[in-house]
Amino acid sequence: MTLKNIDENAIITIISTQKSEEGSETCEFSTEGTFYQRGNKFYLFYNENEEMEMANCSVMIIAEKEKVTMRRTGDFELKLTYIKGETENTVYYMPFGKMNMTQTTHSVSTDLSDSGGVIKISYTLIMGGGEQNNDIEIKVKRK
């Protein structure tokens, strides 16, 4: 999945907070992307940039009422499905190898309409022997 020559009709802002034993870190970045609704699902596509540290990656997010699926393709590949109370084992593919991951979703909320809205996800990630709690807020606004 590469996103070239797509109609970038939305501004996407992602606020991500990671909390671990070492402390807490919040990152925020904005990019342009594509946003549309088909049936009861909302689709969001964007290319990651240098600011996101994964410049050769594309992201597709499918948001439903109680479920969010995120798929990253490119140099770093990953597919995660967020459903409250569920645990998922997956593999994170990176240029230098792969790593097994386990994520447990604590909460998922989607408040989207044709003009945009917000997706919020809270989850715990276990990867490489470490555990961290993550909160992600994705804001979408049509241009």
pLDDT tens for each residue of 59-110: 999 999 999 999 999 999 999 999 999 999 999 999 999 999 999 999 999 9
139 has pLDDT over 80: yes
Domain boundaries, the chain: 10-142
Asked whether the predicted pLDDT for residue 115 surpasses 60, the reply is yes
Distance CA 72, CA 77 (A): 5
The model's confidence at residue 124, banded by pLDDT at 50, 70 and 90, is very high
Distance CA 100, CA 139 (A): 29
SS3 47: strand
Return the higher-pLDDT residue of 115 and 3: 115
What superfamily in CATH does domain 10-142 come from? Answer: Calycin beta-barrel core domain (2.40.128.20)
> How far is 127 from 3, CA to CA, in rounded Å?
28
pLDDT of 22 over the 90 cut: no
Structure confidence at residue 25 as a pLDDT band (50, 70, 90): very high
Q: For position 2, what pLDDT does the model report?
A: 42
Give pLDDT tens digits for 33-55: 999 999 999 999 999 876 656 66
Report pLDDT for 55: 67
pTM summary value: 0.89
| Average confidence (pLDDT) over 15-35 | 93
What integer pLDDT is reported at residue 48 of this predicted model? 85
Burial 78-95 (b: 16+ CB within 10 A, else e): bebbbeeeeeeeeebbee
Whole-number Cα distances in Å, 79 to 7, 25, 58, 69, 73: 24, 23, 12, 7, 9
